[in-house]
Amino acid sequence: MIEAAAQLAVNAIALGAIYALVALGFVLVIGAVGAVNFGHGELVMLGGMVAVGAATLLPADTALPGLVVLPAVLAVMAVAGLVVAAVAYAPLRRAPPTSVFIATIAVGLIVQHGVTAGIGPEPRRGPPLVDGGVLDIAGIGLSHQQLATIAAAAALILAVHVLLQRTRFGRRLRAAAQDPEMARAIGIPVPITIAVSFALAAALAGAAGLLLSNQYLVTPTDGGMLMLKAYIATVIGGWGRIWGAALGAFAIAVFETLVAAAASYLVAEALLYVGVLAVLAFRPRGLFGEAAGRRA
């Protein structure tokens, strides 16, 4: 009983860490351009597919294949983020935010249908980060893969925190997001910081896709569900609040895992949306308040 509860807790934390990566990237773009990237879920899916493809190029006896391909996934997805910025944002930067999110919907559908046409609609399994063994702690067995997922996601989240809070580039990024006109006036290259925001968001999405793909598989139609989870996390955490969205993502994962274990995944999904309605009714600006001044 204790071992099952401990593994359930680890599963919830691992899923929450992955959802947090998705939500962080989602909110980074909101902060940078004041509009939602509705193709963000497809970028998570694409990252999982890139991981699947990269793993096939490795020798069969490669140790830690997920960790080996992670840098390649981050790099490829960062380039994909730059492409999204160039196609869906740059030509529309002076248009209303609704134009941007319509463009990102179109990009997401192109990615989804392109992947389906290219490799088919079947679910695919990504590479594991580590072996499939179990770590014994005081007689309680915990999955190596889940523990490695938590560690990898935590390292990426910490890296984002350091980048945004401790570096000159992070200060420029936050300044450009908060007041683009003032940022331009003091010499910050706003178009470059926006492009980098898209690249960083897509890289985080790709990492989340890799981490999800081994245990939960990845299919070309996963993007819509993942996008919805990021949106809900942002609503719960407070619109535009990066770390609020991350905490919202953890709350979603813990709720889903516990309710699914007690009842079923369908019940967990239904009750999740009931919970979102309750948050909107009693805390319409999210649990931590709203940081952004406009929505799309």
pLDDT tens, position by position, 203-236: 999 999 999 999 899 999 999 999 999 989 988 8
pLDDT, tens digit, 9 for 90 and up, residues 60-92: 888 889 999 999 999 999 999 999 999 999 999
Identify the pLDDT of residue 242.
80
pLDDT at 199: 96
- The rounded distance, in Å, linking the Cα atoms of 226 and 208 is 10
Residue closest to 259 by CA, chosen among 21, 8, 6: 8
Structure tokens at 178: 């908060």
pTM summary value: 0.90
Query: pLDDT class for 245, splitting at 50, 70, 90?
Result: confident
| Among the listed residues 45, 261, 152, the one whose alpha carbon sits nearest the alpha carbon of residue 144 | 152
Per-residue pLDDT of 123-181, as tens digits, reads 999 999 987 777 777 667 778 888 899 999 999 999 988 888 888 888 887 787 777 78
- Distance, in Å, from the CA atom of 118 to the CA atom of 107, rounded to the nearest integer, reads 16
Q: Residue 211, class by beta-carbon neighbours within 10 Å (0-12 exposed, 13-18 middle, 19+ buried)?
A: buried
The rounded percent of the chain whose pLDDT value lies above 90 is: 49
For residue 240, pLDDT beyond 70: no
- Identify the pLDDT of residue 24: 93
